């Protein structure tokens, strides 16, 4: 188990905050043990939250040329045919994965190929399970073109708690299946838009693991 690089700033801020409140408790309330224990408990709680949120577990990746691998940990909350209006502008099969604050928040490429499109959208911070979060929230749009010519679009979508989406990709990059492509801080969602007729291996309510669970076949 490693600590993800995106969490270093948050961890430093929590440690500084913890030092300050512990100092205040001892300096201004030297005779009140309850103030000291409150400072210790709050410091420990915040540190544990940051460490668990930015944890980066070592995993054995599932790979396959025709497989679509889950790009994130979480629960499958949407499977439906819908119109994708930004890039494809036609009917696609949408699969959405909701990531709660306790999930690992590393995002990975679901297939191998070439990044044929990328765009970042600033936006709102609606709850990630809201339908409008897909079009109104801060988000990125990434399209990867497989060697067989088929394309998959997926979006990192910020949630009510998320205030920063991180990406490590740009148009023209080579996407390695299960390779890291980004991170979303503090609760979020990933939408995938697949070709109609894609064979799926998951259903609504399934819990999936990024880089390990097979969503379907391209």
Domain 67-217's class? mainly beta
What is the residue extent of each domain of the chain? 2-56, 67-217
pLDDT at residue 184 tops 80: yes
Q: pLDDT band at 48, cuts 50/70/90?
A: very high
Residue among 43, 188, 211, 213 flagged as catalytic: 188
pLDDT band for position 158 (cuts 50, 70, 90): confident
32-36, 82-86, 148-152: range with lowest mean pLDDT: 32-36
pTM, full prediction: 0.87
pLDDT surpassing 80 at residue 181:
yes
Share of the chain above pLDDT 90, in %: 77
Please give the full DSSP string across the chain, using - where no structure is assigned.
-EE-GGGHHHHHHHHHHHHHHHHHHHHH-TT-HHHHHHHHHHHHHHHHHHHHHTEE--------TTEEE-SSSEEEEEEEEEEETTTT-EEEEEEEEEE-TTS--EEE-SS-EEEEEEEEE--B---TTSTTHHHHBSEEEEEEE-TTS-EEEEEEEE-SS---EEE---TTPEEPTT-EEEEE-SSEEEEEEE-TTPEES--TT-EE-TTTSEEEE-
188 in catalytic set: yes
């Amino acid at each position: 188990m490693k600590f993800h690089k995106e969490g270093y700033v948050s961890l430093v801020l929590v440690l500084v905050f913890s030092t300050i409140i512990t100092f205040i408790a001892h300096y201004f309330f030297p005779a009140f043990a309850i103030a000291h224990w409150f400072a210790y408990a709050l410091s420990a709680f915040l540190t544990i939250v940051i460490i668990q949120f930015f944890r980066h577990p070592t995993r054995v990746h599932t790979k396959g040329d025709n497989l679509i691998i889950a790009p994130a940990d979480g629960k499958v909350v949407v499977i439906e045919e819908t119109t994708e209006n930004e890039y494809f502008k036609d009917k696609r099969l949408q699969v959405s994965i909701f990531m709660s604050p306790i999930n690992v928040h590393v995002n990975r490429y679901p297939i191998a190929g070439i990044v044929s499109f990328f765009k970042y959208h600033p936006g709102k911070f609606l709850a990630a399970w809201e339908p409008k979060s897909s079009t109104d929230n801060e988000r990125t749009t990434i399209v990867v073109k497989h060697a067989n010519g088929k394309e998959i679009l997926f979006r990192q979508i910020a949630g009510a708690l998320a205030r920063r989406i991180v990406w490590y990709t740009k148009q023209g990059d080579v996407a390695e299946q299960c390779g890291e492509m980004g991170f979303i801080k503090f609760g979020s969602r990933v939408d995938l838009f697949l070709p109609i007729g894609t064979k799926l291996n998951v259903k609504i309510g399934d819990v999936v693991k990024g880089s390990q669970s097979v969503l379907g076949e391209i």
